[in-house]
Amino acid sequence: MAAGPASNAVRAAPDRAAHGRMANAIRALAMDAVEQAKSGHPGLPMGAADIATVLFTRFLKFDAAAPDWPDRDRFVLSAGHGSMLLYALLYLVGSANVTIDEIKRFRQLGSRTPGHPEHGHTAGVETTTGPLGQGLANAVGMAIAERHLAATFGDELVDHATYVLASDGDLMEGISQEAIALAGHLKLRKLIVLYDDNGISIDGPTALADSVDQVQRFESAGWAAARIDGHDPAAIAAALEAAQHADRPSLIACRTIIGFGAPTKGGTEKSHGAPLGPDEIAAARQRLGWTAPAFEIPAAILEPWRAAGRRGAAARLIWQQRLAARPPHERAEFERRTRGELTAALAGAVRTVKGKLAAAPKEIATRAASEFALDHLTAALPELIGGSADLTGSNNTRAKAMTVLNAADYAGRFIHYGVREHGMAAAMNGMALHGGVIPYSGTFLVFSDYCRPAIRLAALMRQRVIHVMTHDSIGLGEDGPTHQPVEHLAALRAIPNLKVFRPCDAVETVECWQLALENKDGPSVLALSRQNLPQLRRGVDEPNRCADGAYELIASDEGNAAVSLFASGSEVAVAVAARQLLAERGVSARVVSVPCVDLLLAASASLRAGIIGQARINIAVEAGIGQGWDAIIGTSGTFIGMTGFGASAPYKDLYQHFGITAEKVADAALARLRASSIQGIHT
């Protein structure tokens, strides 16, 4: 196989002593910063220093002056607790935001060097890591995005590797199995995992809990895998060279000594996650031959590191020339996608869908409405990459024109993730972080629990990742309580910076899709029904009525409403029917559709108050638990929904059984009105 530009970046090896001095710079900074912070993890940076030195000085394609260069190689420190490895590297190569002062302020409030690496906070940090296994799975998504964009725009613009440093803990976590299986299946040859095989975790030797042969494990998942001495720079370089030319993803199991250099704590869990202490540090300095004072890197060692930081500058300039030489429309499209800007065609696609729904209203499930919308949205936005965790026909996430993205065709736009919700959600984060694509995918809402750690990280990292989660309530029926989400909407709404949309009909579905796509700085969940729902919105509304999170769907017949009925998703139709029952009893009620509680609560106080209104009685209805609805209906409001798990039965029977019906809603309103008028007489 032809050597790609990545291997052009390989530089001649320094002599072993020079290499050792450069690696020791990482070790010294890690020891000193952790000691000063009185907390942190020196063991991993000290153990992995040789690996990182070879990678950064000779293989990684990057330009420290341009951390956002789209065609840079990605480096993911999956074992985020070893953050001082990354901060030391960023400082040494001359990254503008990690100065020696920031190293001295490791783990302090407002520093660029927080306890675990945080993407968006420190330039050069490709993803936020700390929850073990997530970074590795993010890297799979980055490698998918790279292959897809290379197939779309050509190798001249997109041809970079994704390197991961993974620890024992990363590989013990279950998510790693999903990630490596997917990567092996997709033959992501530009994904290279360096495994810091030190045999130590927090409790002690990994042998306490693990006896997996990782090399065999990766090989069986379709990877190339090798075992090397992780302190031998020649062996590291040879393994990286081989990995760059592999036709599949590569694992390099690097046998290392945790806390390398620390005379009594090295090789043991004592160096994993605590300051070494002044005596041990002094002894380690002596053993390593490091004579410089704390936080000082001698110029003769810093200079080759800084040179490594500049090494990719020429390649970047040549890449920029290649980009500039592209036909203007191609260049503009590449740049638009890199910036994450949507096309002007989006608004037209939404208008088209709304027009069709106005002309021929549809009584369909919102999952089907989502598919209908996606047929138009995916045509307007070529950056949308869909998928499903083996529920394609149930989630309705594959637009008709989408072909499959696989090892034979990376230009495809639909990914069969397999039954791998954890890995899928984390890979989607990696795709969004990589840029140039907007990932969306599907599973059942009840399995959002399997995606939750990755969704939380997407929210923390402010990444646009869209989760289509269907079968969103007891409305799924016969599959029963294992599959019926009850607490999930509330649990997802509890995640900061995540938007949970639950549209009530086909029109709201396309509006919520538009809002999710325009939500550039965070993830979204679209909770969609399995069962058919009436189209409540008729005619064409030009503005997006879901934009404030809630709106008055049906006003009261006369003047001030006595009752406000709030509902989301499938229960909006229940509220509409209840309003009719109340009207027949001479009670005026209004219906407020609440497709996104998060947006409503984020709206200005006056806007929110206007939408919530001033009816005497507030009632909310949602086929989930009531937690969180108080913020809308007040503590004196009435909630009609679920208080425990569902059951297996046809869905209409379940709505009757659990009392989520128009009659119950109307009865509750009438009872409240009676009670308040009696109270009115007494007071």
Q: Under the rule (CB under 6 A), what is the footprint of ligand TPP? A: 41, 43-44, 79, 81-82, 130-132, 167-169, 173, 196, 198, 200-202, 258, 272
Kindly tell me which of 236 and 574 has the beta carbon lying closer to ligand TPP. Answer: 236
Phi then psi dihedrals of residue 601, to 5 deg: -70, -20
Q: How far is the CB of 602 from ligand TPP (least distance, A)?
A: 30
Structure tokens at 78: 């999956």
Kindly tell me which of 256 and 638 has the beta carbon lying closer to ligand TPP. Answer: 256
Kindly tell me which of 214 and 570 has the beta carbon lying closer to ligand TPP. Answer: 214
Kindly tell me which of 3 and 202 has the beta carbon lying closer to ligand TPP. Answer: 202
Q: How far is the CB of 455 from ligand TPP (least distance, A)?
A: 15
Q: How far is the CB of 425 from ligand TPP (least distance, A)?
A: 14
User: For residue 245, with 0-12 CB atoms within 10 Å meaning exposed, 13-18 middle and 19 or more buried, which class applies?
Assistant: middle
Kindly tell me which of 198 and 397 has the beta carbon lying closer to ligand TPP. Answer: 198
Whether the Cβ atoms of residue 517 and residue 342 lie closer than 8 Å to each other:
yes
557 DSSP assignment = S
Q: How far is the CB of 149 from ligand TPP (least distance, A)?
A: 30
Name the active-site residue from 280, 421, 511, 571.
Answer: 421
Q: How far is the CB of 199 from ligand TPP (least distance, A)?
A: 8
Instruction: Give the residue from 409, 429, 405 showing the smallest Cα distance to 417.
Output: 405
Q: How far is the CB of 131 from ligand TPP (least distance, A)?
A: 4
SS3 track for 39-103: CCCCHHHHHHHHHHHHHHHHHCCCCCCCCCCCCCCEEEECCHHHHHHHHHHHHHHCCCCCCHHHH
Our measurement of the distance from residue 79's CA atom to the centroid of its chain's CA atoms, rounded to an integer in Å, reads 17
Alpha-helical runs (H) found in 187-327: 214-220, 233-244, 278-288, 299-310, 313-325
E-assigned strand segments in 346-486: 384-388, 414-416, 438-444, 466-470
Kindly tell me which of 48 and 93 has the beta carbon lying closer to ligand TPP. Answer: 48
Kindly tell me which of 70 and 259 has the beta carbon lying closer to ligand TPP. Answer: 259
Phi then psi dihedrals of residue 379, to 5 deg: -75, -35
Residue 256 amino acid letter: T
Kindly tell me which of 130 and 387 has the beta carbon lying closer to ligand TPP. Answer: 130
Our measurement of the distance from residue 283's CA atom to the centroid of its chain's CA atoms, rounded to an integer in Å, reads 42
Sheet of strand 438-444: strand arrangement: 414-416, 384-388, 438-444, 466-470, 524-527, 499-501
Residue 488 CA to residue 331 CA, distance in Å, equals 43
Instruction: Give the residue from 327, 374, 314, 385 showing the smallest Cα distance to 528.
Output: 374
Kindly tell me which of 113 and 198 has the beta carbon lying closer to ligand TPP. Answer: 198
Instruction: Give the residue from 612, 561, 585 showing the smallest Cα distance to 671.
Output: 585
Which residue's C-beta sits nearest to ligand TPP? 169
Q: Distance of CA 268 to CAs 195, 208, 262, Å?
A: 18, 13, 10
Kindly tell me which of 168 and 505 has the beta carbon lying closer to ligand TPP. Answer: 168
Residues contacting 378, CB < 8 A, separation 6+: 384, 386, 399, 401, 402, 413
Q: How far is the CB of 214 from ligand TPP (least distance, A)?
A: 12
Instruction: Give the residue from 52, 55, 54, 72 showing the smallest Cα distance to 63.
Output: 72
The total number of residues shown for the chain amounts to: 683
Name the β-bridge partners of 254: 196, 228
Structure tokens at 452: 């939750």
Whether the Cβ atoms of residue 498 and residue 455 lie closer than 8 Å to each other:
yes
Q: How far is the CB of 38 from ligand TPP (least distance, A)?
A: 18
Q: How far is the CB of 44 from ligand TPP (least distance, A)?
A: 4
Residue 558: active-site member: no
Q: How far is the CB of 10 from ligand TPP (least distance, A)?
A: 27
Active site residues: 421
